[in-house]
Amino acid sequence: MSTDLPGILIVDDNEDNRYTLELMLTSDGHERIASAASGSEALALIEKEKFSLVLLDLMMPDLNGDEVLKQIKSDPDKRDIPVVMISADTDAEKISQCIELGADDYLPKPFNPTILRARIAAALRRQSLRALENEYVGKIEAEKRHSENLLRNILPAEIASRLRNGESNIADHFDDATVVFADVVGFGKITARMKAYEIVGCLNQLFSEFDKLAEDAGIEKIKTIGDTYMAVSGVPTPRGNHVRMAAKFSLDMIAATTRLRSRLPVPFSIRVGLHSGAVMAGVIGTRKFAYDVWGDTVNIAARLEAASAPNRALASAATVKGLGSDYSFDGPHKVDNKGDRPVEAFFLNPRP
Protein backbone atom coordinates (compact mmCIF):
# COMPACT_ATOMS: atom_id res chain seq x y z
CA MET A 1 0.00 0.00 0.00
CA SER A 2 2.45 2.62 -1.20
CA THR A 3 0.24 4.88 -3.36
CA ASP A 4 -1.30 8.20 -2.33
CA LEU A 5 -4.84 6.79 -2.48
CA PRO A 6 -6.70 6.65 0.86
CA GLY A 7 -5.85 3.51 2.79
CA ILE A 8 -8.60 1.87 4.86
CA LEU A 9 -7.93 -0.67 7.61
CA ILE A 10 -10.68 -3.08 8.66
CA VAL A 11 -10.21 -4.47 12.17
CA ASP A 12 -12.60 -7.27 13.21
CA ASP A 13 -12.07 -10.73 14.69
CA ASN A 14 -15.00 -12.06 12.64
CA GLU A 15 -13.89 -13.20 9.19
CA ASP A 16 -17.36 -12.81 7.67
CA ASN A 17 -17.54 -9.21 8.85
CA ARG A 18 -14.13 -8.46 7.41
CA TYR A 19 -15.09 -10.06 4.09
CA THR A 20 -18.40 -8.13 3.92
CA LEU A 21 -16.75 -4.80 4.64
CA GLU A 22 -13.93 -5.43 2.18
CA LEU A 23 -16.38 -6.45 -0.54
CA MET A 24 -18.44 -3.31 0.01
CA LEU A 25 -15.40 -1.04 -0.03
CA THR A 26 -14.03 -2.68 -3.17
CA SER A 27 -17.37 -2.29 -4.96
CA ASP A 28 -17.31 1.40 -4.00
CA GLY A 29 -13.96 1.84 -5.77
CA HIS A 30 -11.58 1.80 -2.79
CA GLU A 31 -8.31 0.14 -3.77
CA ARG A 32 -6.07 0.37 -0.70
CA ILE A 33 -7.78 -1.96 1.76
CA ALA A 34 -6.12 -3.96 4.52
CA SER A 35 -7.64 -6.09 7.26
CA ALA A 36 -6.64 -7.30 10.71
CA ALA A 37 -8.20 -10.06 12.79
CA SER A 38 -7.07 -8.67 16.14
CA GLY A 39 -6.14 -5.46 17.91
CA SER A 40 -2.46 -6.42 18.08
CA GLU A 41 -2.36 -7.16 14.36
CA ALA A 42 -4.05 -3.84 13.66
CA LEU A 43 -1.48 -1.88 15.68
CA ALA A 44 1.35 -3.69 13.90
CA LEU A 45 -0.12 -2.76 10.50
CA ILE A 46 -0.59 0.88 11.56
CA GLU A 47 3.08 1.00 12.50
CA LYS A 48 4.10 -0.15 9.02
CA GLU A 49 1.48 1.51 6.79
CA LYS A 50 -0.14 4.91 6.50
CA PHE A 51 -3.95 4.74 6.72
CA SER A 52 -6.58 7.36 6.03
CA LEU A 53 -9.33 5.54 7.98
CA VAL A 54 -9.71 2.68 10.46
CA LEU A 55 -12.97 0.71 10.78
CA LEU A 56 -12.60 -0.76 14.25
CA ASP A 57 -14.60 -3.45 16.00
CA LEU A 58 -15.06 -2.87 19.73
CA MET A 59 -15.25 -6.43 21.07
CA MET A 60 -12.17 -8.54 20.25
CA PRO A 61 -10.50 -11.38 22.17
CA ASP A 62 -6.89 -10.19 22.57
CA LEU A 63 -7.16 -6.42 22.64
CA ASN A 64 -10.46 -4.59 22.72
CA GLY A 65 -11.22 -1.86 20.21
CA ASP A 66 -11.21 0.84 22.90
CA GLU A 67 -7.62 -0.15 23.83
CA VAL A 68 -6.57 -0.02 20.17
CA LEU A 69 -8.28 3.36 19.85
CA LYS A 70 -6.51 4.64 22.96
CA GLN A 71 -3.10 3.65 21.59
CA ILE A 72 -3.80 5.23 18.19
CA LYS A 73 -4.93 8.51 19.72
CA SER A 74 -2.06 8.67 22.21
CA ASP A 75 0.55 8.53 19.44
CA PRO A 76 1.30 12.06 18.07
CA ASP A 77 2.14 10.61 14.64
CA LYS A 78 -1.12 8.65 14.36
CA ARG A 79 -3.70 10.54 16.40
CA ASP A 80 -5.10 12.25 13.29
CA ILE A 81 -6.17 8.94 11.68
CA PRO A 82 -10.00 8.92 11.65
CA VAL A 83 -11.48 5.91 13.49
CA VAL A 84 -15.05 4.68 13.01
CA MET A 85 -16.15 2.17 15.65
CA ILE A 86 -18.42 -0.64 14.41
CA SER A 87 -19.81 -2.84 17.16
CA ALA A 88 -22.79 -4.89 18.29
CA ASP A 89 -22.34 -3.32 21.73
CA THR A 90 -24.93 -0.55 22.01
CA ASP A 91 -24.14 0.36 25.61
CA ALA A 92 -24.35 4.17 25.83
CA GLU A 93 -21.47 4.32 28.30
CA LYS A 94 -19.20 2.35 25.95
CA ILE A 95 -20.17 4.55 23.02
CA SER A 96 -19.52 7.69 25.08
CA GLN A 97 -16.15 6.35 26.20
CA CYS A 98 -15.06 5.71 22.61
CA ILE A 99 -16.11 9.21 21.52
CA GLU A 100 -14.18 10.68 24.46
CA LEU A 101 -11.12 8.64 23.47
CA GLY A 102 -11.23 10.26 20.03
CA ALA A 103 -13.39 8.03 17.82
CA ASP A 104 -14.80 10.00 14.90
CA ASP A 105 -17.99 7.97 14.68
CA TYR A 106 -19.81 4.95 16.10
CA LEU A 107 -22.00 2.58 14.10
CA PRO A 108 -23.96 -0.35 15.59
CA LYS A 109 -23.97 -3.84 14.10
CA PRO A 110 -25.62 -5.01 11.97
CA PHE A 111 -24.71 -1.83 10.13
CA ASN A 112 -26.75 -0.20 7.42
CA PRO A 113 -24.52 -0.15 4.26
CA THR A 114 -25.89 3.19 3.09
CA ILE A 115 -25.22 4.86 6.44
CA LEU A 116 -21.79 3.25 6.69
CA ARG A 117 -20.88 4.51 3.21
CA ALA A 118 -21.93 8.01 4.23
CA ARG A 119 -19.88 7.80 7.48
CA ILE A 120 -16.83 6.53 5.59
CA ALA A 121 -17.11 9.29 2.98
CA ALA A 122 -17.47 11.93 5.71
CA ALA A 123 -14.48 10.57 7.65
CA LEU A 124 -12.29 10.50 4.53
CA ARG A 125 -13.29 14.07 3.67
CA ARG A 126 -12.35 15.21 7.18
CA GLN A 127 -9.04 13.37 6.90
CA SER A 128 -8.33 14.99 3.54
CA LEU A 129 -9.10 18.45 4.93
CA ARG A 130 -6.99 17.73 8.01
CA ALA A 131 -4.06 16.63 5.83
CA LEU A 132 -4.45 19.78 3.73
CA GLU A 133 -4.54 21.90 6.88
CA ASN A 134 -1.39 20.20 8.21
CA GLU A 135 0.32 20.81 4.87
CA TYR A 136 -0.57 24.50 4.97
CA VAL A 137 0.51 24.79 8.61
CA GLY A 138 3.79 23.11 7.69
CA LYS A 139 4.34 25.58 4.86
CA ILE A 140 3.53 28.51 7.15
CA GLU A 141 5.94 27.22 9.78
CA ALA A 142 8.64 26.78 7.13
CA GLU A 143 8.07 30.32 5.86
CA LYS A 144 8.16 31.60 9.43
CA ARG A 145 11.50 29.87 10.05
CA HIS A 146 12.80 31.27 6.76
CA SER A 147 11.69 34.78 7.74
CA GLU A 148 13.27 34.45 11.18
CA ASN A 149 16.54 33.28 9.61
CA LEU A 150 16.49 36.28 7.28
CA LEU A 151 15.72 38.56 10.22
CA ARG A 152 18.65 37.12 12.18
CA ASN A 153 20.92 37.67 9.17
CA ILE A 154 19.84 41.30 8.87
CA LEU A 155 19.61 42.23 12.54
CA PRO A 156 21.37 41.29 15.78
CA ALA A 157 19.61 38.41 17.55
CA GLU A 158 18.58 40.61 20.50
CA ILE A 159 17.08 43.23 18.20
CA ALA A 160 15.25 40.63 16.11
CA SER A 161 13.77 39.21 19.33
CA ARG A 162 12.57 42.64 20.42
CA LEU A 163 10.90 43.21 17.06
CA ARG A 164 9.16 39.83 17.27
CA ASN A 165 7.93 40.77 20.75
CA GLY A 166 6.18 43.83 19.36
CA GLU A 167 8.65 46.70 19.78
CA SER A 168 8.34 49.09 16.86
CA ASN A 169 10.63 51.95 17.83
CA ILE A 170 14.02 50.55 18.80
CA ALA A 171 16.51 53.25 19.77
CA ASP A 172 19.15 52.77 22.47
CA HIS A 173 21.98 54.81 23.97
CA PHE A 174 25.25 53.13 24.95
CA ASP A 175 27.68 54.99 27.18
CA ASP A 176 30.70 53.08 25.98
CA ALA A 177 31.41 51.06 22.84
CA THR A 178 34.13 50.79 20.21
CA VAL A 179 33.43 51.46 16.54
CA VAL A 180 35.66 49.91 13.87
CA PHE A 181 35.99 50.98 10.22
CA ALA A 182 38.03 49.13 7.59
CA ASP A 183 38.52 50.30 4.02
CA VAL A 184 40.37 48.96 0.97
CA VAL A 185 43.32 51.18 0.11
CA GLY A 186 43.10 52.64 -3.41
CA PHE A 187 40.00 50.65 -4.25
CA GLY A 188 38.97 52.88 -7.17
CA LYS A 189 42.30 52.58 -8.96
CA ILE A 190 42.63 48.86 -8.26
CA THR A 191 39.20 48.02 -9.69
CA ALA A 192 39.17 50.51 -12.59
CA ARG A 193 39.95 47.78 -15.14
CA MET A 194 38.17 44.91 -13.38
CA LYS A 195 34.82 43.50 -14.44
CA ALA A 196 31.83 43.85 -12.12
CA TYR A 197 31.74 40.17 -11.19
CA GLU A 198 35.47 40.26 -10.36
CA ILE A 199 35.01 43.25 -8.05
CA VAL A 200 32.04 41.68 -6.30
CA GLY A 201 33.87 38.36 -5.99
CA CYS A 202 36.92 39.99 -4.38
CA LEU A 203 34.89 42.03 -1.91
CA ASN A 204 32.74 39.02 -1.11
CA GLN A 205 35.78 36.92 -0.22
CA LEU A 206 37.27 39.69 1.87
CA PHE A 207 34.12 40.72 3.72
CA SER A 208 32.98 37.13 4.26
CA GLU A 209 36.25 36.55 6.08
CA PHE A 210 35.59 39.68 8.17
CA ASP A 211 32.05 38.43 8.91
CA LYS A 212 33.42 35.16 10.26
CA LEU A 213 35.96 36.98 12.43
CA ALA A 214 33.23 39.28 13.78
CA GLU A 215 30.91 36.40 14.57
CA ASP A 216 33.67 34.45 16.33
CA ALA A 217 34.68 37.52 18.34
CA GLY A 218 31.14 38.53 19.35
CA ILE A 219 31.40 41.81 17.45
CA GLU A 220 28.40 43.20 15.59
CA LYS A 221 28.80 43.92 11.89
CA ILE A 222 26.77 47.02 11.10
CA LYS A 223 27.08 47.38 7.32
CA THR A 224 29.28 47.65 4.26
CA ILE A 225 29.31 50.77 2.12
CA GLY A 226 31.14 50.04 -1.12
CA ASP A 227 34.58 48.90 -0.01
CA THR A 228 34.11 50.08 3.58
CA TYR A 229 33.31 47.64 6.40
CA MET A 230 31.80 48.92 9.67
CA ALA A 231 31.44 47.02 12.94
CA VAL A 232 30.93 47.82 16.61
CA SER A 233 32.00 46.13 19.83
CA GLY A 234 29.75 46.44 22.90
CA VAL A 235 26.50 46.94 20.98
CA PRO A 236 23.72 45.81 21.23
CA THR A 237 25.03 43.76 24.18
CA PRO A 238 27.20 45.92 26.46
CA ARG A 239 30.59 44.31 27.13
CA GLY A 240 33.20 45.40 29.63
CA ASN A 241 36.02 44.25 27.37
CA HIS A 242 34.71 45.83 24.16
CA VAL A 243 37.95 47.78 23.58
CA ARG A 244 40.16 44.68 23.70
CA MET A 245 37.70 42.78 21.49
CA ALA A 246 37.74 45.57 18.90
CA ALA A 247 41.54 45.88 18.90
CA LYS A 248 42.01 42.14 18.36
CA PHE A 249 39.35 42.16 15.64
CA SER A 250 41.12 45.03 13.86
CA LEU A 251 44.46 43.24 13.73
CA ASP A 252 42.74 39.96 12.79
CA MET A 253 41.15 41.70 9.78
CA ILE A 254 44.56 42.92 8.65
CA ALA A 255 46.01 39.41 9.05
CA ALA A 256 43.09 37.92 7.13
CA THR A 257 43.58 40.40 4.29
CA THR A 258 47.26 39.43 4.08
CA ARG A 259 46.33 35.72 3.95
CA LEU A 260 43.86 36.36 1.13
CA ARG A 261 46.33 38.22 -1.09
CA SER A 262 47.39 35.07 -2.94
CA ARG A 263 43.77 34.04 -3.61
CA LEU A 264 42.52 37.36 -4.99
CA PRO A 265 43.04 38.44 -8.64
CA VAL A 266 44.37 41.76 -7.34
CA PRO A 267 45.98 41.99 -3.90
CA PHE A 268 44.23 44.37 -1.50
CA SER A 269 45.50 46.27 1.52
CA ILE A 270 43.18 47.73 4.13
CA ARG A 271 43.23 50.65 6.53
CA VAL A 272 41.55 50.31 9.91
CA GLY A 273 40.42 52.98 12.36
CA LEU A 274 38.79 52.56 15.77
CA HIS A 275 37.45 54.86 18.44
CA SER A 276 35.67 54.31 21.76
CA GLY A 277 32.91 56.38 23.30
CA ALA A 278 29.15 56.83 23.52
CA VAL A 279 26.95 55.79 20.62
CA MET A 280 23.29 55.63 19.73
CA ALA A 281 21.86 52.60 17.94
CA GLY A 282 18.51 51.62 16.52
CA VAL A 283 16.46 50.20 13.69
CA ILE A 284 15.99 52.54 10.76
CA GLY A 285 13.29 52.12 8.12
CA THR A 286 10.04 50.17 7.91
CA ARG A 287 10.46 47.99 4.81
CA LYS A 288 14.18 47.70 4.05
CA PHE A 289 15.10 48.27 7.65
CA ALA A 290 18.60 48.12 9.09
CA TYR A 291 20.28 48.27 12.47
CA ASP A 292 22.60 51.27 12.53
CA VAL A 293 24.91 53.11 14.91
CA TRP A 294 25.59 56.83 14.89
CA GLY A 295 27.10 59.72 16.85
CA ASP A 296 30.46 61.46 17.21
CA THR A 297 32.18 58.19 18.06
CA VAL A 298 31.20 56.82 14.64
CA ASN A 299 32.40 59.96 12.85
CA ILE A 300 35.76 59.95 14.63
CA ALA A 301 36.32 56.24 13.93
CA ALA A 302 35.68 56.93 10.21
CA ARG A 303 38.23 59.79 10.20
CA LEU A 304 40.80 57.61 11.92
CA GLU A 305 40.33 54.97 9.24
CA ALA A 306 40.88 57.56 6.52
CA ALA A 307 44.07 58.72 8.28
CA SER A 308 45.40 55.21 8.87
CA ALA A 309 48.12 53.50 6.83
CA PRO A 310 47.96 50.37 4.64
CA ASN A 311 47.58 47.27 6.77
CA ARG A 312 47.69 49.30 9.97
CA ALA A 313 45.08 49.95 12.66
CA LEU A 314 44.89 53.53 13.99
CA ALA A 315 43.21 53.84 17.40
CA SER A 316 42.18 56.95 19.28
CA ALA A 317 43.69 57.81 22.66
CA ALA A 318 40.33 56.89 24.22
CA THR A 319 40.62 53.38 22.77
CA VAL A 320 44.30 53.03 23.66
CA LYS A 321 43.51 53.97 27.25
CA GLY A 322 41.34 50.84 27.54
CA LEU A 323 44.01 48.50 26.16
CA GLY A 324 46.59 48.79 28.91
CA SER A 325 49.79 46.86 28.19
CA ASP A 326 48.25 44.33 25.78
CA TYR A 327 49.69 46.21 22.78
CA SER A 328 52.54 48.51 21.87
CA PHE A 329 51.79 51.78 20.13
CA ASP A 330 53.33 54.10 17.55
CA GLY A 331 52.46 57.71 18.18
CA PRO A 332 50.85 59.93 19.12
CA HIS A 333 49.62 61.26 15.78
CA LYS A 334 47.24 64.15 15.30
CA VAL A 335 44.18 63.49 13.13
CA ASP A 336 42.08 66.37 11.83
CA ASN A 337 38.53 66.36 13.21
CA LYS A 338 36.86 68.83 10.81
CA GLY A 339 36.79 71.99 12.87
CA ASP A 340 36.90 70.33 16.26
CA ARG A 341 40.02 69.71 18.30
CA PRO A 342 42.36 67.24 16.52
CA VAL A 343 42.15 63.64 17.70
CA GLU A 344 45.21 62.06 19.25
CA ALA A 345 45.75 58.58 17.80
CA PHE A 346 48.17 55.67 17.88
CA PHE A 347 48.98 52.79 15.57
CA LEU A 348 48.42 49.41 17.23
CA ASN A 349 51.14 46.78 17.33
CA PRO A 350 50.65 43.36 18.90
CA ARG A 351 53.09 42.51 21.67
CA PRO A 352 55.80 40.13 20.37
Q: Is residue 2 one of the residues assigned to a domain? A: no
Q: Is residue 125 one of the residues assigned to a domain? A: yes
Same domain, yes or no, for 284 and 318?
A: yes
Same domain, yes or no, for 40 and 173?
A: no
Task: Name beta bridge partners: 34.
Answer: 9
Contacts 24+ apart (CB under 8 A), 133-142: 134/80
Task: Name beta bridge partners: 176.
Answer: none
What is the pLDDT at residue 2? 46
**Radius of gyration of the chain from its Cα atoms, rounded to whole angstroms:** 35
Q: Is residue 33 one of the residues assigned to a domain? A: yes
What is the pLDDT at residue 284? 84
Same domain, yes or no, for 139 and 196?
A: no
Residue type, 176: D
What is the pLDDT at residue 182? 97
What is the pLDDT at residue 1? 46
Domain with 332 in it: 169-350
What CATH number is given to the structural domain containing 65? 3.40.50.2300
What is the pLDDT at residue 319? 96
Contacts 24+ apart (CB under 8 A), 236-241: 236/156, 236/158, 236/159, 236/172, 236/281, 236/291, 237/158, 238/174, 238/176, 238/177
Same domain, yes or no, for 126 and 192?
A: no
Cis previous bond, 236, omega within 30? yes
What is the pLDDT at residue 4? 62
As averages over each run of 10 residues, the pLDDT of the chain (352 residues) reads 72 91 90 91 91 90 88 89 84 81 84 86 83 84 76 78 82 95 91 86 91 94 94 94 96 93 80 97 82 94 96 96 88 86 92 70
Q: Are 82 and 39 in contact (CB under 8 A)?
A: no
Say which DSSP state 30 is in: -
Q: Is residue 78 one of the residues assigned to a domain? A: yes
| Angle made by CA atoms 171, 172, 173, in degrees to the nearest 5 | 135
Cα–Cα distance for residue pair 316/320, rounded to 1 Å = 6
Cα–Cα distance for residue pair 69/273, rounded to 1 Å = 70
Q: Is residue 157 one of the residues assigned to a domain? A: no
Q: Is residue 159 one of the residues assigned to a domain? A: no
Query: Of 148, 181, 212, which one is at a domain's C-terminal end?
Result: 148
What is the pLDDT at residue 333? 93
Same domain, yes or no, for 138 and 176?
A: no
What CATH number is given to the structural domain containing 263? 3.30.70.1230
Q: Is residue 1 one of the residues assigned to a domain? A: no
Query: Of 148, 182, 212, which one is at a domain's C-terminal end?
Result: 148
Contacts 24+ apart (CB under 8 A), 44-51: 45/9, 46/9, 46/72, 46/78, 46/81, 49/1, 49/7, 49/9, 50/1, 50/7, 51/7, 51/8, 51/9, 51/81
